[in-house]
A and B are shown apart, each in its own frame.
Chain A
Amino acid sequence: MTSPQYVNVGTDFHADWLDDIRVNKSAVERRVAALDGARPVSGEALVAFLVKAISCIDLTTLAGDDTPGRVERLCAKARNPVRRDVLAAFDVADIGLTTGAVCVYHGMIETAVKALEGTGIPVAAVSTGFPAGLTPFETRVEEIRRSVAAGAAEIDIVVTRAHVLTGNWPALYDEVKAFKEACGPAHMKAILSTGEHGNLTEVAKASMVAMMAGADFIKTSTGMEAVNATLPVSLVMVRMIRDFGERTGIKVGYKPAGGIRKAAEAVRYLVLMKEELGRDWLEPGLFRFGASALLGDIERQLETLATGIPSAPWRHAMA
């Protein structure tokens, strides 16, 4: 499955786009709560949403003990994420279902690129001193260049949280813009580490700044923060994507990452995207999950839906 690539050429820094950003936390929570249950996804729609979720997963391994063998196994899973007979039960064995990408550290890029050759599955690399982003600026930029050179089609950058926490938006803009330039043709996802922001208004402003600076995707978390992706944070970020789109006509993608482990949660995220941004954001070109455990649960749910019998984890190939 291919979906169109959206490129954010960015804009100048507009301080006034930030001035009137206000986020009311209670209202955000109410909207999220109201949405939960307002759009029950059932029947064929549920199968479609689960299959769609798989196509949007950045299948991820970011561990110090990653080895080429482990990464190759992960890539094999990305190519064949669901047992063929399960997909056949829904007559979708022939749609070429893969995950959205495989996401690794720099050192594993070449292994992954080789393992995924010919599949069209992009390799994403976390970069810029992931996860804290506090290594020297020059080495962070250089890390991007080397990852792109090594074959990464997507770069997940981290930002300097201090810029967010001190409200130094021009500095954040300059940083992200420099990263974007270093990415060249590679797709850039800007990780904001929202769990470390003081409030949702900061999340919103950081989102807007990252998009002005050219982020093709905005992403919640490294997966290493105490709090990672949540629905309220996601609502705030996707609304900034909508505002940015209204101002510029540019479509920016969204990637919640960390902590999304259950199929039902994934469906909730897809409903949020559909309701707030529309159908276009239900494709890997504009939506990804940063997740490692999610796929297993979706597989189980799909088999359960196919057979009517609750499935078990060991019936599905592990990543």
Chain B
Amino acid sequence: MSVKDKLQTMDYEVSLESRAAADAWLDGHKRRFGHFIGGKWVKPAKAQMLPSFAPATGEVLAEIAVGTKAEVTAATKAARAAQKDWAKTSGHKRAAYLRALARLIEKHAGVLAVLEALDNGKPIRETTNVDIPASVQHFDHHAGWAELIEAEFPGHEPVGVAGQIIPWNFPLLMVAWKVAPALAAGNTIVLKPAEFTSLTALYFAELVIAAGLPDGVVNIVTGPGETGALLVDADVDKIAFTGSTEVGKLIRRRIAGTGKHLTLELGGKSPFIVFDDADLDAAADGLADAIWFNQGESCCAGSRLLVQEGIAGRLLEKVKARMAAIRIGHSLDKTVDMGAIVDPVQLERIKRMVAEGTTDGAKVWHAPCVLPAEGCYYTPTLVTEAGTANILMQEEVFGPVLSVLTFRTQKEAVALANNSRYGLAASVWSETVSRALEVAAALKAGAVWVNGASMFDASVGFGGMRESGFGREGGREGMTAYLVPKAERKLKDLKAEAAPIGGNAKDIDAAVEAAAGAQAAWAVKAAAERGTVLRRIAETLEARADDFARKLEAAGESRKAAKAEVATAIRRLFTAAALADKFDGVVHTAPLRGVAFAMNEPFGVLGIACPPEALLIAPVTLTAHALAAGNAVVLVPGAVLAGDMKALFAGLPVNVVTGNPAANALLLARHAMVDALWSFAGDRAAQEAAAADNMKRTWAGMTKAWDWKNGSLTSGKALMERATEVKNIWVPWGDQN
């Protein structure tokens, strides 16, 4: 086109990034890859191979191997063999390796950005500006944790060998999210990248070699979900999974009872709430970061737009105009905003869900964007008039599809936002600070962005509530997911216990409902006030110490032991009371003008099934800490003290169910309104599997013989951490001109 013509159209020029370096690398491997095990490339002779496509065009970029049991076993063995030495390597030295990886990714940023864009279909601008630099930052940040590990996490050791299964939406960045904290903490890993997007992980393997990491510290086995399932079953101490909620539940059920650690970062249907006092243009821009970014293939995509009714018309006009201006095209074109959908399978899924939503009455508007003639693309789509029950309002699409609902009041906005099985992220748009922060505090979400969307930093933990999974990645919280207290390691394993039949379903249900009804009021009480209440209970117990000691004696304890147990229980109550207003959150030093702060929030309803031992200490300690954190409790104590527990916690959101804890624990595990379960009785494997249904939090490693007398693991801060989950709230500020 001539300049004269351009002066008429004033169109941009397509500007393709060169792919020569990426092609050269692929050619260097003859476009066929094996697995990376024990520091070496392993090319199974008769391996089944899978093509890896470029979704922008459909061309086959390379072939990857399907990992079988033999390779998964070899990889976990290599990781196991390397783990002890790696854990013994000083934090300072591990930090040096992580920094080396950061520098290498930086050095290879150009080719990695191109490879990622080609393999995933996302725009080169995003891989260049987001995926690759964020990966570098993650390694640098965690090099820092490695450097500080002895000082920051005394008395801890690495979990061991971690199996890590990652998704296709941010392929290299997810490698960084998984590998960096694991290595920093002294674990070795076996990583299985997604079969659609394994290429940058394989490139990363070469950087691992170049960085001189000891053989076996990082192992990468490629393949589809079946390979991942083999890894879950393999000899690993932990599984870290990022992906769909559906698969997350399968994994959880599969490892239930094995004692393997687990963190899950799963799906979402994150609300994007716009109030009538918001900057509407900014909110429309924010949606670009929330739902059009990465083709909407993001677990934290703001896919549910909740807009105050009075401004819905104006906002949607702005959103539509913004959508119409989205440029879609080849992932290497530097001028596009959206690239291709990762795979025809995913494209079909998006189309199927939108069709189903439409059949059920939703109105669908496709932005008038021009799509390339070939390749795997989907138009940005706006869904209105769907109602709350529509699949497009309920389920994660993982595509550029935005569903809209209106609300009348702030209260209704919060109710609609929390009307979801998920709880990953949320955005709140309002220029009124008191409103925005009140809403942020009320949302069930692991990350809340005020007047923003999709903000991340390696120093700020990210992860979900409810069925969006558990565990945090990034920051201190993320490190704890790869560490375990040494004292916990010394605990004896309990033999699997058969669950007695029965339990009282009606009682449990009534107790859960009562607890759920009382929780909100308890949680919003001033923390110091919760402490005061607990202190009074401690004083009551103190006053009745002899009485309780006699009861314990009657139950078979020696007089000395009974007295000691009562004394300990009193101390635990005072401890919990003291901690109520001292278990503070954190203000992060995230890179924004503003603040990102972590709040320790109660789960909601916490079920407690007491152990057969520690008749007084266990129920009192557990209940007191759960309460201190703001939870409501359904308590199933041992039969001997059930009546006393009722009396002791009378007037508080504690609902005591009499009956066998072992029999009632499974009922608690199954109950969808129970948000978390601490169980020390019955068939823990069955409970864990049942807990997967609503992804309730369970006390991990329930099959240990916990030491109730020595409270280092079973009271105090350690227990407060188990009684809460972290919400990170991002509040950018700035108004002065």
Contacts and interface: CB of A to CB of B under 8 A. Distances in A.
Interface of A: 20, 22-31, 34, 37-49, 51-52, 90-92, 95, 194-195, 197-203, 227, 233, 239, 246, 270, 274-275, 279, 282
A199 B736 contact: yes
A26 B452 contact: yes
B317 A42 contact: no
B281 interface: yes
Contacts of A39: 12, 335
10 contacts: A22-B278, A25-B735, A25-B736, A27-B286, A42-B15, A45-B10, A47-B3, A52-B7, A227-B737, A233-B737
Contacts of B736: 25, 198-199
B613 interface: no
Contact of A26 (B1, B277, B593): B593
Given A20-B276, A95-B7, A37 B129 contact: yes
A48 B452 CA distance: 35
A44 B282 contact: no
| Most chain A CB within a 10 A radius of its CB, from B279, B452, B592 | B279
B12 A45 contact: yes
A301 to B, nearest CB: 14
B285 A199 contact: no
A30 B334 CA distance: 19
Contacts of B277: 20, 22
B732 A26 contact: yes
B365 interface: no
Contacts of B276: 20
Contacts of A24: 278-279, 282, 431, 451
B435 to A, nearest CB: 12
A31 B335 contact: no
A92 B8 CA distance: 12
A51 B7 contact: yes
B325 interface: yes
A45 B6 contact: yes
Contacts of A233: 737
Given A38-B337, A195-B737, A198-B736, 9 more contacts: A25-B735, A25-B736, A26-B452, A26-B732, A27-B732, A41-B13, A44-B3, A199-B736, A274-B10
B660 to A, nearest CB: 56
Contacts of B734: 25-26, 29
Nearest to A41: B12
Nearest to B7: A48
A318 B344 CA distance: 59
B4 interface: yes
B710 interface: no
Interface string B325-338: 10000000011010
B11 interface: yes
B13 A44 contact: yes
B2 interface: yes
Interface residues of B, number: 43
Contact of A279 (B10, B311, B452): B10
Contacts, number: 115
Contacts of A29: 734
Contact of A52 (B10, B289, B325, B452): B10
B594 interface: yes
Interface in B113-139: 125, 129
B737 A202 contact: yes
B3 A91 contact: yes
B594 A51 contact: no
Nearest to B10: A282
Contacts of B311: 20
Interface of B: 1-4, 6-7, 9-13, 15, 125, 129, 276-282, 285-286, 288-289, 311, 317, 325, 334-335, 337, 431, 451-452, 592-594, 732-737
Nearest to A94: B4
B2 A27 contact: no
**Can you list the 7 inter-chain pairs with the closest CB atoms, starting with the nearest?**
A27-B282, A48-B6, A26-B732, A24-B279, A43-B13, A45-B13, A25-B734
Contacts of B325: 275
Contacts of B334: 40
A40 B594 CA distance: 30
A164 to B, nearest CB: 11
A27 to B, nearest CB: 3
A283 to B, nearest CB: 9
Say whether chain A's binding surface is mostly helix, strand, loop, or mixed. Answer: helix
A246 B7 contact: no
Contact of B282 (A31, A41, A92): A31
Contacts of A279: 9-10
A40 B15 contact: yes
B6 A246 contact: no
Contacts of A28: 282
Contacts of A48: 3, 6-7, 10
A275 B1 CA distance: 21
A30 B452 contact: yes
B285 A30 contact: yes
Contacts of B335: 38-40
A31 B311 CA distance: 21
| Most chain B CB within a 10 A radius of its CB, from A25, A198, A203 | A25
Contacts of B281: 27, 239
A279 B325 CA distance: 12
Contact of A203 (B3, B4, B13, B737): B737
A200 B282 contact: no
Contacts of A27: 279, 281-282, 285-286, 451-452, 732
B737 A198 contact: yes
A44 B451 contact: no
Contacts of A51: 3, 7
Contacts of B129: 37
Contacts of B9: 279
Contacts of B732: 26-27
Contacts of B2: 44, 91
B4 A92 contact: yes
B733 to A, nearest CB: 7
B12 to A, nearest CB: 5
Nearest to A31: B285
B454 to A, nearest CB: 11
A239 B13 CA distance: 25
A233 B736 CA distance: 12
Nearest to B277: A22
Nearest to B128: A37
| Most chain B CB within a 10 A radius of its CB, from A24, A31, A90 | A24
B337 A42 contact: no
Nearest to A48: B6
A201 B732 CA distance: 17
Given A22-B279, A26-B593, A95 B15 contact: no
B7 A92 contact: yes
Contact of A95 (B4, B452, B594): B4
Contacts of A26: 451-452, 592-594, 732-734
Contacts of A198: 736-737
B737 A199 contact: yes
A194 B452 contact: no
B272 to A, nearest CB: 13
A302 to B, nearest CB: 10
Contact of A197 (B7, B278, B737): B737
Contact of B6 (A23, A25, A44, A195): A44
Contacts of A45: 6, 10-13
A218 to B, nearest CB: 16
Nearest to A89: B3
Nearest to B325: A275
A45 B15 CA distance: 11
A41 B736 CA distance: 32
